Amino acid sequence: MSSSPPSGASPEIEPLGTPEPEPATRIPLKIEDWLTVAIMALLALITFANVLVRYFTNSSFAWTEEFSVFLMILLSMVAGSAAVARDRHIRIEYFSESGSMARRRRLSQFGAVLVAGLFFLIAGLSLRMVWDDYRFEETSPGIGVPQWWYSVWLPIVSTAIALRAVGLFIRRGQQIDADDRADRSTP
């Protein structure tokens, strides 16, 4: 039995569904994975409870829509943090996947610097928003809880995304150094 690729298939292309190895990170990526699962479960439970209440009483929980919107935003930011750490954020693959491996890693580092800068900026600017929500005692439009309960998560998760980008920058730099050492040791 031969292990050669089928006719017309490129030997460099991995079959669909082949899992990539997890990057070695100081803070485990399981944190984002479990937060994603917990948020999705909470969203499903809230939605299911609201459907049951609507079905049996012809009314709904007032808080579910506001809380669900908050959870969806938090979910997208937590998933964004995992995507940055795994180097799976949006990019133009024509540029990012062409050229040598060192060029690809340099582009990845450049992208990580831009992502870190953007999210550190968002974290800093959103701190002002949180402070204003707290200071002026803003309340949420749907159920009237303090608005800062929702907005405080923006600088926290933005900082987490920025730190994941810094970690990606460092890992790519270490890979470039390792590649350079390997190139120098090869005759």
Q: What integer is the mean pLDDT of 136-143? A: 92
Residue 10 lies in a domain: no
The pTM score is 0.81
Structural domain total, the chain: 1
Residue 71 lies in a domain: yes
Residue 175 lies in a domain: yes
d(CA 88, CA 176) in angstroms, rounded, equals 19
Residue 165 lies in a domain: yes
Give the pLDDT confidence score for residue 25 in this predicted structure: 86
How high is the mean pLDDT of the chain? Answer: 87
Under 8 Å CB-to-CB from 164, ≥6 apart: which residues? 25, 81, 82, 84, 85
What is the domain range of residue 119?
30-185
d(CA 95, CA 98) in angstroms, rounded, equals 6
Q: What percent of the chain has a predicted confidence (pLDDT) above 90? A: 55
Residue 19 lies in a domain: no
Residue 93 lies in a domain: yes
d(CA 13, CA 143) in angstroms, rounded, equals 52
Structure-token pair, residue 51: 């459907």
Handedness of CA 111, 116, 119, 121 (dihedral sign): negative
Residue 103 lies in a domain: yes
d(CA 179, CA 109) in angstroms, rounded, equals 15
Identity (one letter) of the amino acid at 76?
A: S
The pLDDT confidence band at residue 179, using thresholds 50, 70 and 90, is: confident
The pLDDT confidence band at residue 87, using thresholds 50, 70 and 90, is: confident
Residue 43 lies in a domain: yes
Q: What percent of the chain has a predicted confidence (pLDDT) above 70? A: 89
Q: Is pLDDT larger for residue 24 or for residue 143?
A: 143
